[in-house]
Chain A
Amino acid sequence: MVSGFRRALGSFTYRTFFKKESTYFTTVIASGVAFSMVFNTVFDKYWDRKTAGLKWDDIKDRYAPASE
């Protein structure tokens, strides 16, 4: 039942992504790119919240350029 589904899912994953070297390589690169995008976005949002008010971007609005 559930173990059958897990076995089928594992088998599907292996056959589609891991069996051929070309698809394996593509999977590695694609998941790396996806992880990198997600991780960086989430972490940068967290870091910006942690350093709110300290960075230049947070205080630059006080010194608006003459053109505005």
Chain B
Amino acid sequence: MFSRIAFNSLKQTTRGASKTTGHNALLGLSVATAIGSGAGLYYLDKNAAHANMEADGLHPADHPFPQKNFLGTFDHASIRRGFQVFKEVCSACHSLDLIYWRNLVGVAYTEEEARDMAAEFEYKDGPNDTGDMFMRPGKLTDPIPAPYANEEAARAANAGALPPDLSLITKARHGGVDYIYSLLTGYCDPPAGVEVREGLNYNPYFPGGAIAMAQNIFDGVVEFEDGTPNTASQIAKDVVTFLNWAAEPELDDRKKIGVKALLIFSTLTAIALWAKRNRWQTLKTRKIVFNPPKNWNKPTPPKN
């Protein structure tokens, strides 16, 4: 009944249009309604409130990191400050196994600076002439040193909890840079009625709410050499930018090449579409005409 009312009202508004147009309009309207309601229901289902939202962790806010924009790239001064924060605060517990001292050259430090920083650490090197292993100062080809020799040592030193390697953390956590930033700055007292057991800390952004890591980013924990004010939010922003670079060092080049690719391919696509239509014009506009001879009797279908 409603479909007939809808169809008749549609016919009124499209008076003069053919029955096919009316059918097409109604079909288009139904498809749009189906897609719209499907999208709406999907959104509502994803964002529905449920009893165990603490298990998902509080959804982090959308922070304006410049590298998040479609054409945005890293602020390399921020990467430099972020590595300083990592070295002074985070490297006490977290490893950065996939980053080598040479990766910092040309990104945040000059070659001399990176070499000097690497030389501050000692690395075990291969057997010498008498067959003994020996310690030597670091080189550019060495990895950023890890605080613990293995997972067991890390767990033993941190009450059973393993501080994860941070080389890929912004890609490995849902929410990315926003999540890491919110986590670092989001420590607060648990709400009334929420109990956090001894040894854990309350952080609403952490799935489950209870994280083993205590708050480490406070105002003034790090002094920046370039004079940037060292508030907790600035420190967290810089270390998150550094971690994002560590996980995605190719981001600057990827976006530059990506824009070039989009420009060239969209142009080529437009040219290809035009060229096809140009070549097909003769076929699409040809007319086939039957000119019967003068004394031709039009054949009639047989009468049955």
Contacts and interface: CB of A to CB of B under 8 A. Distances in A.
B110 A65 contact: yes
Contacts of A55: 73, 76, 252
Contact of A65 (B74, B107, B108, B112): B112
Interface in B184-232: 226
Interface residues of A, number: 16
B109 A54 contact: no
A59 B77 contact: yes
Interface stretch (A2-10, A21-29, A43-51): A43-51
Contacts, number: 37
A59 B110 contact: no
Contacts of A62: 226
Contacts of A39: 260, 264
Contact of A43 (B106, B109, B113, B260): B260
Interface in B86-117: 106-113
Interface in B222-274: 226, 252, 256, 259-260, 263-264
Given A47-B256, A55-B252, A66 B112 contact: yes
B75 interface: yes
Nearest to B106: A56
Interface residues of B, number: 23
B76 A59 contact: yes
Nearest to B73: A51
Interface string B46-79: 0000000000000000000010000101111100
A54 to B, nearest CB: 5
Given A43-B260, A47-B256, A54 B108 contact: no
Contacts of B259: 43, 47
A62 B259 CA distance: 30
A49 B125 CA distance: 45
B109 A63 contact: yes
A54 B71 contact: no
A50 B236 CA distance: 26
A60 interface: yes
B110 A60 contact: yes
B208 to A, nearest CB: 37
A54 B110 contact: no
A55 B80 CA distance: 11
Interface in A10-68: 39-40, 43, 47, 50-51, 54-56, 58-60, 62-63, 65-66
B107 A56 contact: yes
A56 B76 contact: yes
A60 B77 CA distance: 9
15 contacts: A39-B260, A39-B264, A50-B71, A51-B73, A51-B252, A54-B76, A55-B252, A56-B76, A56-B107, A59-B76, A59-B77, A59-B80, A63-B113, A65-B111, A66-B112
Interface of B: 66, 71, 73-77, 80, 106-113, 226, 252, 256, 259-260, 263-264
Q: Which 3 A-B pairs have the closest CB atoms?
A: A56-B76, A54-B75, A65-B112
